[in-house]
A and B are shown apart, each in its own frame.
Chain A
């Protein structure tokens, strides 16, 4: 889905059932499953209308950043022990409890920040420069079914399929899903 704009067909539906029928009609054209999606104001269960089989991998990035944060925290405390070896209370200069606590907190901080950043990247948020296909009427209760199509014959047939399933305002746009 990366890259520039492609031709997208979009139609609005009133209910999950008709949207499901439309999605199946599009699949039958055939349009690959990865190119058909819905836009809805409520998360629809996977498979109700379309299904997305692609694995979600960004939690691994969060796990990696947890360790990066841990290393930063441990590094910060260890660095302090090295550059500021002041004796306090006759206790060891390199002290374990603070190292554990600071390491833990910075690890969690890094993981939380990574969740936001990785989540944004994975969802594709904050990419304002992209022409994303959308219809604000989904927040009036519509469900949009949309798909990448090749201009010409396939687009015409897809439009027919969406209208046939009860879609309103079926249109062809340039954009990304």
Chain B
């Protein structure tokens, strides 16, 4: 069963609350780096909410850009990996990451125009009782490997297995990554583009749609919606 998982992020709805980041950290066993390390640019979060300030006349508006992995169809990170640690999962059209293969050249991170890949600079510890809340569905990454947003691949796998067991197709909305599930204003939507009646298939026809750094030709699966302001728009 082939899928083309995609994410739509509605920037007109995003309030920049950061709940998606918290959900992602909880779901994906992401270590907390701490204040000092975060200042050095070593945040481990797979999803960051970039904040920009934009002056419009007298008022200054904040623009929030939640940036997870784009799961590009033509992902620049994949081709530069010398050991196939990151490659394209053709069944789910995902940009997959194999931690055990990774030797940490960090070339993928350099070649990712969105800079969404994070690196395990240290061995991370989960102090008691935090280790009790680790998600058993996915591994805790070791020191020296790259990691990044997987679209919560463990949930996709679980959904596919359940559907297979019950002998049916995956229902729209059945698989939901942690960020989309949590987003209070519902700015993050997730689904299968190969399902013509899915909500996401409808949303990508929105005229507000744009892709981050579209000129790079990476054909990202994560796309954005935003009303364009200003003259001529």
Chain A positions within 8 Å of B, measured between CB atoms, are 84, 86-91
Contacts and interface: CB of A to CB of B under 8 A. Distances in A.
Nearest to A98: B79
Given A88-B81, A89-B74, 11 more contacts: A84-B84, A86-B84, A87-B88, A88-B84, A89-B77, A89-B78, A90-B73, A90-B75, A90-B219, A91-B74, A91-B79
A25 B184 CA distance: 107
Instruction: Identify the interface centre among A86, A87, A89: most chain B CB within 10 Å of its CB.
Output: A89
Contact of A90 (B74, B77, B86): B74
B18 interface: no
Contacts of A88: 75, 78-79, 81, 84, 86-88
B31 interface: no
A90 B88 CA distance: 8
Q: Which of B72, B73, B87 has the most CB of A within 10 A?
A: B87
Interface in B106-153: none
Nearest to B111: A89
A86 B78 CA distance: 10
B84 A89 contact: no
B37 interface: no
B76 interface: yes
B90 interface: yes
Nearest to A88: B78
Contacts of B79: 88-89, 91
Contacts of B72: 89
Contact of B76 (A86, A87, A89): A89
20 contacts: A87-B78, A87-B87, A87-B88, A87-B90, A88-B78, A88-B79, A88-B81, A88-B84, A88-B86, A88-B88, A89-B72, A89-B74, A89-B75, A89-B76, A89-B77, A89-B88, A90-B73, A90-B219, A91-B74, A91-B79
Contacts of B86: 88
B113 to A, nearest CB: 12
Contacts of A87: 78, 87-88, 90
A91 B80 CA distance: 12
A88 B111 CA distance: 13
A107 B216 CA distance: 35
Select the residue from A84, A87, A88, A91 with max chain B CB neighbours within 10 A: A88
Contacts of B76: 89
Contacts of A91: 74, 79
Nearest to B75: A89
A89 B70 CA distance: 13
Nearest 10 CB-CB pairs, A to B? Answer: A88-B78, A89-B79, A90-B74, A87-B88, A89-B78, A88-B79, A86-B87, A89-B74, A89-B75, A90-B73
